Amino acid sequence: METVSGISSWKLTIRREAAGITVLRAVTCESAAALPETLWGLPVTALGDHALAPGAGPVPGQEVLVSCGPLPPDAQWDNRNLRDMTLPASLEQVGDYALFNCTELKTLRLGDSVNRWGGGAIMNCRRLDTFQMDCTGREGGLLAYFAGELPGELDVTLRRGGEIWTRLIFPEYAEVYEENCPAHHFDYNIYGAGYGYHHCFYGKRLDLKSYDALWEPMLAMEHDGDCAMRLAWWRLRYPAELTGRTAADYRDYLRSHALEAVRFLLSLGDASDLRLLLREIMPDREMLPAACALAREQRNAAALAVLLEEQHRRFPAGAARDFTL
């Protein structure tokens, strides 16, 4: 078995094609791993059928060990523990059932160059809900594929030129067939506010205006308040193609759920985002002391400083200041 260096450890079975490398089998011993972009100067362009499926049988091909350093003697080569995976930017095709039964996979990082996803490629990837995509203008078809295959809540970050362009939350939904005994048939019902979000694509193009138009209908039906808060925040934080009227709607929602939004940003540990939230929602006199109490509970000195600064700026004659953690 030939050994090459890489940023993650993999045991690969590959085939050299005219256009590049096809990975027929790939297994890693790491929970977060990136497939190599190139091998011997050739781009990795395809994943074969069942390429990463745990328990898939061997296939004929060239075996390669990709190593990023000494491996622990008890390393377990089993994709069942793979949680975070990065696909090559050069990847163009993904075979049938390529990630079948990667049941722990939660985060997928990839470009928008893949023009074919095989049948059942992400079947049984029940935890998969987070995507980070590097976009070149073809992300709509890729995103439509994932949104159509995965009815659960999705958290999608779209990057352009190395910077975050926008971040979108797709609320979950469920399609259920329920037996109607007296009529001797099954009724088809959709539960949850996410169906429209998962299908707001036209000609495999992401339509952000259609996405934003779903906001008021979602609030009018039963929905997850925490999900709605995060959806509104990320649209304001990265406002690609966001109109002033819709931004105001998101802003009003965050203002009415200000403490929940502060708690969420405290969990992220980014004081700069907290400063932006305060500028967007202009919290009232009652909310700021409660937010300060949350920061103290979490011993987050940076966030507490931001909140106290805001309190002093807007309500200089307010309650006595307490800088203790």
For 178-236, write each residue's pLDDT tens digit. Answer: 677 776 677 767 788 899 999 999 888 889 999 999 999 999 998 999 999 999 999 99
Secondary structure, 3-state, 120-147: CCCCCCCCCCEEEEECCCCHHHHHHHHH
Domain ranges of the chain: 1-116, 129-253, 257-325
CA separation, residue 79 to residues 31, 55, 194, 208, 297 (Å):
8, 9, 30, 35, 38
Quote the pTM value.
0.89
For 52-110, write each residue's pLDDT tens digit. Answer: 999 999 999 999 999 887 777 778 898 999 999 999 999 999 999 999 999 999 999 99
CATH 2.60.40, domain 1-116, yes or no: no
Mean pLDDT of 267-289: 91
CB-based contact 58:25 (threshold 8 Å): yes
Mean pLDDT of 262-267: 94
Lowest mean pLDDT of 27-36, 273-282, 311-320, name the range.
311-320
Mean pLDDT of 158-170: 96
Give me the pLDDT at residue 188, please.
64
Distance (Å, whole) CA 85 – CA 3: 21
Instruction: Decide if pLDDT at 321 tops 70.
Output: no
